[in-house]
């Protein structure tokens, strides 16, 4: 019997024995710990960052913010996250994935707490900038950590589960807001955001650096910080770096433009263009959407491993554009409640594939740098989204403003013309 046939039979037996979670059982202990660490870090990142969107209506009233100003603060955080992603990508390549992960968590949790101390818009802006730095850094280090500790066969699934934790964090933030806000107001909600800092203790004690990173560092001398960026923008990587970054910028524009304003849209009075839901009801609508978002994240990993990264991405992006347009055309709350999970499923699930695509494009010595750059520089362009949607909502209403995000999803799908299929590629 040929060696290739023996490997095929062994793989089939592992799948049959393991069932749906066979891929998890096939992972190494180090890989499973790395996935848990990156998932918890991303979940807590989502928890802290989305608290702003959930208390936005109250913040606007208390600090006398207009929609323009509220959107600008959201944009400011996204710009800072782009810087944080680029910086922490370099840190993760030079000093280790776990160290970068811990530092980013400490930064975003500390400054979430500080947001609760803000006395005016200027102070809140400063705290949101530093929170954004930590937010951007977490994904770059976590994605590299998971990519390098899971096999080619299951990398998409592992990154899908990591990305799915964002929905859990968002839902947890909505629940905390519903419970804490009526008792202690928006400041109390932000104070709860310091809790993720405790997570770094577990990471420090239990999670090791990936073996492929340690081997690469052992055989390579310290290079200039700018060397990795130079490699990303040279030779065959130039076109890929630009295409992937622009594609992700459109997805980020669509996601942040829609999701940062969604809680405000649902909770603002009808006279101000909103749906007029109470804080508690709005939070429950958001939680319902996170159920769809979680399933979108998880199933995308399986779908991309089965159909390929490109087909899965384009399918989700086109469906997202159609569903967002339908969603903003509905007035009845029951319709929004029922359609919300489906919008979230398609309009977020594709993010699960980004870590796999970039891991399979870029080599180990610049992987975290490239992932941090392509993922977070997209946020610089997408930082326009909260401000653009807020401004357009003032002049043309939320239905028109939020429809702008549907166009962004379609443009992201078009960019896949220049991005190749990477399914099955080993890590270089």
pLDDT tens digit sequence for 184-227: 888 998 888 888 777 777 777 777 777 777 777 666 555 555 55
Q: Output the CA–CA distances (angstroms, integers) from residue 417 to 51, 166, 244, 412, in the order listed.
A: 36, 28, 11, 10
In 3D space, the residue among 401, 281, 280, 408 whose CA is nearest the CA of residue 336 turns out to be 281
Q: Using only C-alpha atoms, what is the Rg of the chain?
A: 21
What is the arithmetic mean of pLDDT over 75-84? 83
Structure tokens at 108: 């975003």
Sign of CA dihedral 170, 389, 346, 335: positive
In 3D space, the residue among 89, 121, 126 whose CA is nearest the CA of residue 111 turns out to be 126
- What is the 3 state secondary structure string of the chain? CCHHHHHHHHHHHHHHHHHHHHHHHHCCHHHHHHHHHHHHHHHHHHHHHHHHHHCHHHHHHHCCCCHHHHHHHHHHHHHHHHHHHHHHHHHHHHHCHHHHHHHHHHHHHHHHHHHCCCCCHHHHHHHHHHHHHHHHHHHHHHHHHHHCCCCCCCHHHHHHHHHHHHHHHHHHHHHHHHHHHHHHHHHHHHHHCCHHHHHHHHHHHHCCCCHHHHHHHHCCCCCCCCHHHHHHCCCCHHHHHHHHHHHHHHHHHHHHHHHCCHHHHHHCCHHHCCCCCCHHHHHHHHHHHHHHHHHHHHHHHHHHHHHCHHHHHHHHHHHHHHHHHHHCCCCCHHHHHHHHHHHHHHHHCCHHHHHHHHHHHCCHHHHHHHHHHHHHHHHHHHCHHHHHHHHHHHHHCHHHHHHHHHHHHHHHHHHHHHCCCCCCCCCC
Q: How many CB atoms lie within 10 A of CB 25?
A: 11
Cα 391 to Cα 58: distance, rounded to the nearest angstrom? 19
pLDDT band at 352 (very low <50, low <70, confident <90, very high): confident
Quick check: 12 pLDDT over 80? no
Q: What is the CATH number of domain 27-205+224-418?
A: 1.20.1250.20
Sign of CA dihedral 246, 428, 354, 165: negative
Residues 6+ apart with CB under 8 A from 86: 136, 369, 372, 373, 376, 377
Cα 238 to Cα 425: distance, rounded to the nearest angstrom? 19
* 58-70 b/e (C-beta count within 10 Å ≥ 16 → b): bbbeebebebebb
Quick check: 315 pLDDT over 80? yes
* Residues making up the chain, counted from first to last: 428
Backbone phi, psi, residue 278, to 5°: -70, 165
Quick check: 87 pLDDT over 80? yes
CB-based contact 88:137 (threshold 8 Å): yes
Q: What pLDDT, on a 0 to 100 scale, did the predictor assign at position 21?
A: 66
Residues 6+ apart with CB under 8 A from 229: 369, 373
Per-residue pLDDT reduced to its tens digit, 259-274: 888 888 898 888 888 8
Cα 157 to Cα 162: distance, rounded to the nearest angstrom? 9
pLDDT band at 312 (very low <50, low <70, confident <90, very high): very high
Per-residue pLDDT reduced to its tens digit, 356-383: 888 888 887 787 778 778 877 777 777 7
Domain boundaries, the chain: 27-205+224-418
Instruction: Name the average pLDDT for the chain.
Output: 82
What is the distance in angstroms between the CA of the first residue and the CA of the last residue of the chain?
A: 30
What is the arithmetic mean of pLDDT over 243-252? 93
From 76-80, 121-125, 236-240, 348-352, the region with the lowest mean pLDDT: 76-80
């Amino acid at each position: 019997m040929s060696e290739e046939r023996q490997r095929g039979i062994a793989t089939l037996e592992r799948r049959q024995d393991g069932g749906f979670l066979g891929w998890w059982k096939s992972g190494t202990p180090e890989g499973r710990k790395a996935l848990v660490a990156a998932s918890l870090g991303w979940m807590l990142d989502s928890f802290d960052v989305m608290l702003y969107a959930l208390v936005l209506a109250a913040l606007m009233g208390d600090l006398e913010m207009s929609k323009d100003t509220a959107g600008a603060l959201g944009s400011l955080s996204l710009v800072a996250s782009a810087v944080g992603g680029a910086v922490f990508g370099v840190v993760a390549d030079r000093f280790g994935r776990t160290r970068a992960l811990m530092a980013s968590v400490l930064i975003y949790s500390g400054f979430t707490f500080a947001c609760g101390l803000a006395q005016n818009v200027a102070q809140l802006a400063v705290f949101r900038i530093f929170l954004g730095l930590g937010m951007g850094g977490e994904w770059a280090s976590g994605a590299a950590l998971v990519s390098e500790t899971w096999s080619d066969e299951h990398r998409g699934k592992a990154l899908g589960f990591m990305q799915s934790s964002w929905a859990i964090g968002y839902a947890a933030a909505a629940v905390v807001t519903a419970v804490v806000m009526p008792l202690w107001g928006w400041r109390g909600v932000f104070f709860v955001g310091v809790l993720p800092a405790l997570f770094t203790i577990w990471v420090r004690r239990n999670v090791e650096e990936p073996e492929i990173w340690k081997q690469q560092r052992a055989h390579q001398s310290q290079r200039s910080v700018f060397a990795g960026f130079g490699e990303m923008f040279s030779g065959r990587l130039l076109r890929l770096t630009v295409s992937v970054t622009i594609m992700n910028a459109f997805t980020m524009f669509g996601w942040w433009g829609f999701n940062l304003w969604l809680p405000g849209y649902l909770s603002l009075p009808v006279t101000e263009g909103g749906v007029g839901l109470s804080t508690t009801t709005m939070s429950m609508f958001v939680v319902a959407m996170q159920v769809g978002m979680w399933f979108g994240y998880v199933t995308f990993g399986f779908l991309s491993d089965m159909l390929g990264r490109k087909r899965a991405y384009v399918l989700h992006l086109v469906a997202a554009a159609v569903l967002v347009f339908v969603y903003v055309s509905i007035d009845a709350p029951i319709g929004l409640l029922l359609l919300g999970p489906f919008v979230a499923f398609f309009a977020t699930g594709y993010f699960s594939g980004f870590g796999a695509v970039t891991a399979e494009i870029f080599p180990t010595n610049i992987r975290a740098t490239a992932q941090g750059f392509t993922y977070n520089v997209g946020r610089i362009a997408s930082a326009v989204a909260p401000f653009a949607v807020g401004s357009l909502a003032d002049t043309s209403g939320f239905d028109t403003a939020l429809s702008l995000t549907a166009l962004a999803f379609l443009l992201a799908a078009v960019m896949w013309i220049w991005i190749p299929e990477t399914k099955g590629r080993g890590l270089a």
